[in-house]
Amino acid sequence: MDACAHCAVRESAICHSLPEDRLEELSRYGRRQNVTRGQTLLWEGEDSLLVGNVIDGVLKLSASTWDGCDQTLGIAYPSDFIGRPFGTKSQQSVTALTDAMVCTFTRADFDAVAQRNPDLEHSLLQRTLSDLDHARRWMLLLGQKSAIERVASFLLEMASRLSEDGEDEAGRIVFELPFGRQEIAEVLGLTIETVSRQITRLRCDGLIETPGKRTIAILDREELETRAESA
């Protein structure tokens, strides 16, 4: 497959570090795979047989407690890397939040190619370091922030991830969440009711609008940032 050459994430996924010939090598092992919304690609605690790149769509990484509460541990967007290379069990499930397309490799294949391509490992290292930074910033949110701060932070992060163009004609930042309320709750370590109440509160205070169930329009970014930081 020379699909790589025309891949939507050719320039942004870790593959970008490989020159043409090496890319060709990697591509022999890759497999493009459609995933439908709700489908789980990797299961928590099972051996991580697959790794890969997200090409399109949004997926979540999650883990759950003995009693079934789910916590979302990370969100994977196009060009993000998923799975756990180098011989370890996956500590989290990977589930599609939207219909998605991923480019997968068996872990064994990927490990072998990576060992032969330091540049690929370097890209992966860079990406893993940012993921770690990001996870730790999220720990601060989970450990210290109030419900309203969490929701405000979440909306701001989603805005920066999902609103391709800045603002619409009315100066609003509009975007479609790939999350239902329950899924937001799982990201923030809250309940669905609390999330709903905080969103209502932000709407009543005139900081946001919610034209559709999953559509958010940010009216006052500045104030929302203040709410994300202080009670």
Contact letters (x/-) for its own copies, 1-40, by CB under 8 A?
Answer: ----------------------------------------
- d(C-alpha 153, C-alpha 14), whole Å: 28
Residue 12: burial class (beta carbons within 10 Å; 0-12, 13-18, 19+) = middle
Q: Which of 19, 144, 166, 213 binds its own copies (CB under 8 A)?
A: 144
Asked if 136 is part of the footprint of its own copies (rule: CB under 8 A), the reply reads: yes
Decide: 219 and 167 in contact? Cβ < 8 Å. Answer: no
Q: Which of 19, 21, 66, 213 binds DNA (CB under 7 A)?
A: 213
Q: Which of 28, 32, 122, 161 binds its own copies (CB under 8 A)?
A: 122
- d(C-alpha 46, C-alpha 93), whole Å: 9
Asked if 180 is part of the footprint of DNA (rule: CB under 7 A), the reply reads: yes
Decide: 175 and 221 in contact? Cβ < 8 Å. Answer: no
Least distance between its own copies and beta carbon 183 (Å): 13
Least distance between its own copies and beta carbon 160 (Å): 16
Q: Point out which span in 52-60, 70-78, 100-108, 145-153 binds DNA (CB under 7 A).
A: 145-153
# residues near its own copies by CB under 8 A: 42
Phi, psi of 165 (to 5 degrees): -90, 150
Pick one of its own copies, DNA, none as the site partner of residue 164 (Cβ within 5 to 8 A by kind): none
Asked if 126 is part of the footprint of its own copies (rule: CB under 8 A), the reply reads: yes
Q: Which of 47, 193, 225, 229 binds DNA (CB under 7 A)?
A: 193
- d(C-alpha 220, C-alpha 182), whole Å: 25
# residues near DNA by CB under 7 A: 20
Taking each helix axis from N to C end, the angle separating 20-29 and 107-116, rounded to the nearest 10 degrees, works out to 160
- d(C-alpha 110, C-alpha 128), whole Å: 16
Asked if 191 is part of the footprint of DNA (rule: CB under 7 A), the reply reads: yes
Could you tell me the CA-to-CA distances from 205 to 120, 193, 200 in Å, in that order? 48, 18, 9
Using CB under 7 A as the criterion, which residues of the chain lie in contact with DNA when the complex forms? 146-148, 180-182, 189-197, 199-200, 210, 213-214
